[in-house]
Chain A
Amino acid sequence: MTEPLLRVENLKVHFPVMRGVVLKRQVGTVHAVDGVSFTLDRGETLGLVGESGCGKSTTGLAVLRMQDVTSGRIEFEGQDITHHDKARMRPIRQRLQMVYQDPYGSLNPRMKVSDIVGEPLVVHGLADDRKAYDERIAELMRTVGLLPDMADRYPHEFSGGQRQRIGIARALALEPSLIICDEPVSALDVSIQAQVVNVLQELQERLGLAYLFIAHDLAVVRHLSHRVAVMYLGRIVEIASRDDLYRAPLHPYTQALMSAVPVADPVVERARLRVVVQGEVPSALRPPSGCRFHTRCAQAMPRCSSDDPPLADLGGGRAVACHLHTAVIPIVRAELEPA
């Protein structure tokens, strides 16, 4: 197998919690990302799902090197970028781009769309030939389904869906191999979301792009992803191919998450068996001991509150961090031990 495009190994991002104005002292640590590992191949989409505070966005920012890493390793195109500073990230930025959630806040209102889309080219010194530059802008506009003439306008003249396309055009300017998309459609009206989802899909087919697609909407993630990782309180609790995960989720949290999302069909809804979880996500400042989900899990066993289940490989690209699915081996070993 060839080298993956992106490899994240045991990534940890911890934030100190400070108190006091004059005599600042650390009173705690938020374990925003706490040992996350995954790989992403060229041309592939990995969906990263979870509820607020699970660390999915922080993971995306760490990969982009817009967030300092506490420990672990991030490899992009075979190169270790874990501790790259701004200057060393500059050549890598061409290949590693992002699309943000907020199509209103992420575009400078005082810049023409042509300057917004072309800015990466200027920054990277690829805008010397004025004619080639103009042609590239026109091509990028067409690529995301906008008219080249619209490039002379300002962001406020565009709707939310069109602004998100402008954001995608800007991300494409430097021909990246990976785009980190952080909730790219969740701020859009339902009837507009499909327009942007389709643009992302078409671009992947045409340009062989890979996406790290961070979102809370499980249906959109299913539609776009090849593989999906489910996060809970800074950890990946389950990772699998799209079809495996949605057909038969193994982790009780994944099951609860899927059950919580209603299907737009009353007949299906009435027939569905749902796994309902109690309570809310605990604070990442003091994550529960053992399995972090045990406080809300209906199937929790005594050991779940003390032993932290590792993300165990079940084969076929599937891994799950749950004693229900990984308990077999240690139990057998214990039984074989002489009394």
Chain B
Amino acid sequence: MGQPLLSVRNLVTRFRTGRGTVTAVDHVSFDVAAGETVAIVGESGSGKSVTALSILRLIPDPPGHIESGEILFDGKDLLKLSDAEIRAVRGDRIAMIFQEPMSSLNPSLTVGMQVGEPINLHRNAPWSVALEKARELLGMVRMSDTASRVGAYPHQFSGGMRQRAMIAMALACEPQLIIADEPTTALDVTVQAQILDLLKDLADRTGSALVLITHDLGVVARYADRVVVMYGGRVVESAPASALYAHPRHPYTRGLMASVPRLDGNTGERLVPIEGQPPDLARIPPGCAFAPRCRQATEACRSAKPPLREIEAGHHVACILES
């Protein structure tokens, strides 16, 4: 593997809140190679969505602020670009798909105009060309009757169709990287499978890399090549998907896998819950954020933050108990 397509290095994103400054993303590092699918897994407050928004510099500032780090995309640091330069990247070379298709589509514009907008904007194509391309893209996301869909408004679409339109929009300029933040959480299971199958298939066919942000370990297993597990704003483990599921090394990853019932699991066994609560980001303990819930935690775990170390080729763990 040569240079990765995306390399996030020591990213720190903070928010000023009424209860003080919150470090939502704390020295996060990970790579995405061209064409690969990387899943970022975590629960609410783990920092996974803020990480995604930071990559495209979509953090509202104030109250948020990207404090430090590097986001190298194709060798160029996105954090050093001017506002105009980052706008040229968004929707062209890096596209983003959000969780709520209803709130991320403009209700007063036709679907065709929204899907065609990136082509009009980034490729300077006249609207007639952009709308024709939009129709083509809607066909690519397997919508029928695309000629009339182009002129329809988002409210005339079901949740699954809106998310298809979002995918069409994301694919418009054939981006090198698609970031999808919980793209199917609001959808029913059968539709969720359709949308994720479609997204994965189109990313594979166009050679786009895909960063999939999710809390669902099943979705990760089905679609991801590599996995980044986040907890309390930090990466606790990252590994190829097969290695992570076969040998989870961080106690949080192991705990998560034991606490979730599986469709093919042993029904006679009790689930093993992770005791306690996810951390309050305003009151992160000085040591490992997972230490208060970790059965193996020692005094050393509570005093200093464990660094992310490579313990096997491509398998990184932030736990002092693992070597």
Q: Which of A197, A201, A216 counts the most B-chain CB atoms under 10 A from its CB?
A: A197
A219 B263 Cβ-Cβ under 8 A: yes
Q: Is B272 interfacial (CB 8 A cutoff)?
A: yes
In the bound complex, residues from chain A placing their C-beta under 8 Å from that of B257 are 264
For the complex, what is the distance from the CA of A279 to the CA of B288, rounded to whole Å? 46
For the complex, what is the distance from the CA of A194 to the CA of B257, rounded to whole Å? 11
User: In A164-197, which residues have CB < 8 Å from any B CB?
Assistant: 189-195, 197
Q: How far is the CB of A50 from chain B (nearest CB, A)?
A: 9
B271 A198 Cβ-Cβ under 8 A: yes
A276 B272 Cβ-Cβ under 8 A: no
Q: Is B219 interfacial (CB 8 A cutoff)?
A: yes
A276 B263 Cβ-Cβ under 8 A: no
**With contact pairs A197-B261, A280-B160 given, residues A223 and B241 touching in the complex (Cβ less than 8 Å):** no
Q: How far is the CB of B197 from chain A (nearest CB, A)?
A: 7
**Of A189, A257, A278, A281, which is within 8 A of B44 by CB?**
A189
Q: Which of A257, A268, A276 counts the most B-chain CB atoms under 10 A from its CB?
A: A268
* A-B CB pair tally, cutoff 8 Å: 135
A222 B222 Cβ-Cβ under 8 A: no
B263 A258 Cβ-Cβ under 8 A: yes
Q: Which of A197, A266, A277 counts the most B-chain CB atoms under 10 A from its CB?
A: A266
Q: Which residue of A lies closest to B218 (CB)?
A: A262
A264 B220 Cβ-Cβ under 8 A: yes
Q: Is B188 interfacial (CB 8 A cutoff)?
A: yes
**Of B216, B224, B256, B263, which is within 8 A of A246 by CB?**
B263
Number of B residues contacting the other chain (C-beta, 8 Å)? 47
Q: Which residue of A lies closest to B220 (CB)?
A: A264
In the bound complex, residues from chain B placing their C-beta under 8 Å from that of A189 are 43-44, 215, 278
**With contact pairs A191-B256, A194-B259, A222-B261 given, residues A201 and B270 touching in the complex (Cβ less than 8 Å):** yes
A262 B265 Cβ-Cβ under 8 A: no
For the complex, what is the distance from the CA of A260 to the CA of B188, rounded to whole Å? 10
Q: How far is the CB of A150 from chain B (nearest CB, A)?
A: 14
Q: Which residue of A lies closest to B261 (CB)?
A: A223
**Of B194, B216, B223, B255, which is within 8 A of A278 by CB?**
B194
Q: Is B17 interfacial (CB 8 A cutoff)?
A: no
For the complex, what is the distance from the CA of A267 to the CA of B220, rounded to whole Å? 12
**Of B191, B221, B263, B274, which is within 8 A of A280 by CB?**
B191
For the complex, what is the distance from the CA of A256 to the CA of B191, rounded to whole Å? 11
In the bound complex, residues from chain A placing their C-beta under 8 Å from that of B192 are 260
Q: Which residue of B lies closest to A281 (CB)?
A: B188
**Of A193, A263, A267, which is within 8 A of B262 by CB?**
A263
Q: Which residue of A lies closest to B266 (CB)?
A: A223
A280 B188 Cβ-Cβ under 8 A: yes
For the complex, what is the distance from the CA of A267 to the CA of B264, rounded to whole Å? 12
Q: Is A261 interfacial (CB 8 A cutoff)?
A: yes
In the bound complex, residues from chain A placing their C-beta under 8 Å from that of B108 are none
Q: Is B267 interfacial (CB 8 A cutoff)?
A: yes
**Of A198, A223, A243, A263, which is within 8 A of B218 by CB?**
A263
Q: Which residue of A lies closest to B46 (CB)?
A: A189
Q: Is A128 interfacial (CB 8 A cutoff)?
A: no
For the complex, what is the distance from the CA of A189 to the CA of B270, rounded to whole Å? 18
In the bound complex, residues from chain B placing their C-beta under 8 Å from that of A264 are 217-218, 220-221, 245, 257, 260, 262
**Of B255, B259, B263, B278, which is within 8 A of A263 by CB?**
B263
For the complex, what is the distance from the CA of A216 to the CA of B216, rounded to whole Å? 14
In the bound complex, residues from chain A placing their C-beta under 8 Å from that of B220 are 264
**With contact pairs A190-B43, A223-B267 given, residues A266 and B221 touching in the complex (Cβ less than 8 Å):** yes
Q: Which residue of A lies closest to B142 (CB)?
A: A278
Q: Which residue of A lies closest to B255 (CB)?
A: A191
Q: How far is the CB of A101 from chain B (nearest CB, A)?
A: 15
Instruction: Given A262-B223, A265-B262, A269-B221, output 6 extra A-B contacts at Cβ < 8 Å.
Output: A198-B271, A222-B267, A257-B189, A263-B262, A266-B241, A278-B194
Can you spell out 28 A-B residue pairs with CB atoms less than 8 angstroms apart?
A159-B277, A191-B255, A192-B273, A193-B260, A194-B259, A194-B261, A194-B271, A216-B188, A219-B261, A219-B265, A222-B267, A223-B265, A258-B263, A259-B193, A260-B193, A261-B263, A263-B222, A264-B260, A265-B245, A265-B262, A266-B221, A267-B242, A268-B264, A269-B221, A277-B194, A280-B159, A280-B161, A281-B188
Seen from chain A, the residues whose Cβ lies within 8 Å of a Cβ on chain B are: 51-52, 159, 161, 189-195, 197-198, 201, 216, 218-220, 222-223, 242-243, 246, 256-269, 274, 276-278, 280-281
